[in-house]
Structure 1
Amino acid sequence: MIHERFKFLNMRETEILDQAINAFTLITGADLKITALEDRKTNADAHLLLNFKDKQQNFFAEVKNEIRSFQLPQIIQQFKDTSSNWMLLAQYIPSTIKSELKGRRINYLEASGNCYIETKDFYFYINDRKVTETRLVKEGKLWNPTGLKFLFALLADKGLLNANYRTVAAAAGIALGNVGPLLAELKEEGFLIQADPTKNAAYFLDNEQLLENRWIELYSSILKPKIRIGRFRWMQEKEDWQKINNKHIIWGGENAGAILTTHLRPEIFTIYTRLDKTNLMKDQKLIPDPKGKVEAISQFWSDDLQQAQEHRNVVPPIMAYAELATSMDSRNQETAERIKNQYLI
């Protein structure tokens, strides 16, 4: 069966595979077809055969709904040294990631027919097709800004899973009435299990890695834009950012990576704060500048949750990881992996 494999090619991915193949053959006139499903040796989702003008090429296929920046290091590693033998198929690939894939000569094909395929005998590059179907948006509150705040609190402090609703709401910075429905939705989606459903037993997260990945993906695209204060520059350049008055700020992004791993020299300075824009500018002597090196974001989670962290002047590791893993900077992606290995596994 299609579904019984390591990665489980689900119905949605099967549709993407079919749509992409049909669009490509219609646009190019080439013959692209599936020759096999499930390859336990390579962990490929399918085998493809491309025929065009008396030339043939076999590909291993990796199928995903969408490609996000945090997935790039894994994809690059997976296709390393054999990129011409692989093809990445997806419903949607952001333009910046397409450029990165093309620069690394990694073949890709969108469901709309947009593609970059380069081998010894073939070169196809299509970049003008509109996405044929809107990207799937999760229904319910779990994946909207309120739900993402809720999930962040649970991922940052697993003990909140068994805390009372009022404590959870305060930690996440959300209304008390949201907690019950969000927990129910979390359970319905298969991310929450109870040790013994017949008793008043403790709850645990299930499929935690998948939950983390979804949160990371949606934090940067849905929640972060809502809580961003703006870009700034300091009135006077700071020679040592770690000596900056941090009474009203905590460090995120590259600064968090530097503190958590001692591996990164920040080029962009990310601060989280409870201050509004005016008071933040006064406190940190900042000037608004769209091209400035200082990025300010509102801290939505509670001070109690922050004080429970190992590094109290740094955002929780899951937040630092999310910011760095979704960066297109290889330095940040490498630091994100260090944070993951040191704090999240």
Structure 2
Amino acid sequence: MLKRNGKNSNYGIIKTALSEVNHLEKTIVIADYLTNSTAEELKRNQIIYLDASGNTFIKTENIFISVEGRKSHLNKNTNHSRAFQEAGLKLLLLLISNPETLQLKYRELVERTGIGLGSVSNIFKELKANHYLLLTNGKRILKRQDEIIQRWVVAYNELLKPRNFKIRMRTLDNRLTRDKLLANSDLMVYLSGELGGELLTGNLKSKNYTIYTSEELSSVAREFKLFPDKTGNIELYNKFWNDNLELKIGTVAPPLVVYADLIGTGIDRNIEIENDCVSEKVVTFKRLEIFHSTCLNLLSNVSFFVEITLIFLA
């Protein structure tokens, strides 16, 4: 399986893809870049991996090779495209969550996203140039949505989500409940992550809380009796989508955001149910998708890996 990168934010994507592989012992993960935590997870699961810096883990019945600590000299920002920068992420969230908006005029999309008119125009041009957008019979059609979602999840976790982080908190007695959050009528808060996944699918018992809101931090803390704690299980983020984005459940963040938050944790129990969060509102994510560009850019490194392997095997 080839991956453009194995960053913390898309370890969940790798894990999801591997869950559909019948023989993990015959699987090799090849990436241009692997973080230490992703490499450790792969190693813990006895999965062979190689990266472009020469870091590798190979453990079989007769062979054990482990190379660690080689730094990557590659540019780790793989989403240079406008479509996967802040404005593009907001626009794509609307288009994927509410597909009918794909046919709106640019000015209407500006109103619904809060991004500039020039940004909307440039993003659509880029989507078309990269074969993500098709114009036929006067209608716009979003193509390769599985690939768009995969790139959106990675860019969101690395770019947009950190920018909107407010604070990590906890309750005094660690007893903030789903019912308490849902019973709140004065504050607009939107639930995501584990709790959002629980509400969307019913298949997850939440231990951690991810909350998006535009309310004052002091008001939220007072309402739910929260206290700052760097190790707390409650994370607060600024709400970054407009109110006119149609939500599946009024108190839950958009399914794509819930999906991305679950994937971003890298926690197995969250990854197992992430696809349920988007199946009704977002096109089903096709796992094991291998991009042409990834293959081409990694081919130059294949001979290097083979050479190293042969040297060690000898």
Fold shared, TM-score > 0.5 on shorter chain: yes
Q: Distance in 1 between matches of 2:145 and 2:81?
A: 19
CA distance in 2, matches of 1:174, 1:282: 32
TM-score under structure 1 length normalisation: 0.75
Q: Which residue of 2 aligns with 1:174?
A: 115
1:296 to 201, 217, 236: 236
The aligned counterpart of 1:250 is 190
The aligned runs of 1:1-345 (5 Å cut-off) are: 62-67=1-6, 68-80=10-22, 82-196=23-137, 201-238=138-175, 240-244=177-181, 245=184, 247-305=187-245, 308-344=246-282, 345=284
Instruction: Normalising by structure 2, report the TM-score.
Output: 0.82
**Aligned mates of 1:143, 1:182 — CA distance in 2:** 9
Contact persistence 1:254–1:268 (CA under 8 A): yes
Task: Note the C-alpha offset of 1:334.
Answer: 1.3
Q: 1:133, CA displacement in angstroms?
A: 2.0
Match of 1:49 in 2: none
What is the Cα deviation at residue 85 of structure 1?
A: 2.7
Deviates most, 159-168 or 316-325: 159-168
Letter in 1 for 2:148: L
Q: Distance in 1 between matches of 2:148 and 2:203?
A: 27
| Unaligned ranges ≥5, structure 2 | 285-314
Identical residues among aligned pairs (%): 27
Q: What is residue 308 of structure 2 aligned with on the other side?
A: none
Structure 2 Cα separation of the partners of residues 71 and 218 of structure 1: 13
Q: Alignment RMSD, CA only? A: 1.9
Once residues 334 and 131 of structure 1 are traced to their aligned partners in structure 2, the CA distance between those partners, rounded to angstroms, is: 30
Structure holding more helix per residue:
2
Does the Cα contact within 8 Å between 2:165 and 2:238 map onto a contact in 1? yes
| 8 Å Cα contact 2:209-2:234 kept in structure 1 | yes
Whether contact under 8 Å (1:250, 1:313) holds in the other structure is yes
How many Å separate the matches in 1 of 2:174 and 2:11?
A: 31
Q: Distance in 1 between matches of 2:213 and 2:160?
A: 16
- Structure 1 position 147, deviation (Å): 1.7
Is the 8 Å Cα contact of residues 152 and 172 (structure 1) preserved in structure 2? Answer: no
3-state SS in 1 of match to 2:4:
strand
The structure richer in strand per residue is: 1
Question: Residue 304 of structure 1: SS of its match in structure 2?
Answer: coil
Mapped contact 1:172–1:300 kept (Cα < 8 A): no
For 1:100 and 1:237, the matched residues in 2 are separated by 29
Q: Which amino acid aligns with 2:11?
A: S
Partner secondary structure for residue 265 of structure 2: coil
C-alpha separation in 2, matches of 1:268 and 1:120: 39
Are residues 275 and 129 of structure 1, via their aligned partners in 2, closer, same or farther at CA, if it must alter by over 3 Å? same
By relative contact order (CA 8 Å, sep 6+), the higher-ranking structure is 2
Q: C-alpha displacement at 1:256, in angstroms?
A: 0.6
Which amino acid in the other structure matches residue 326 of structure 1?
Answer: G
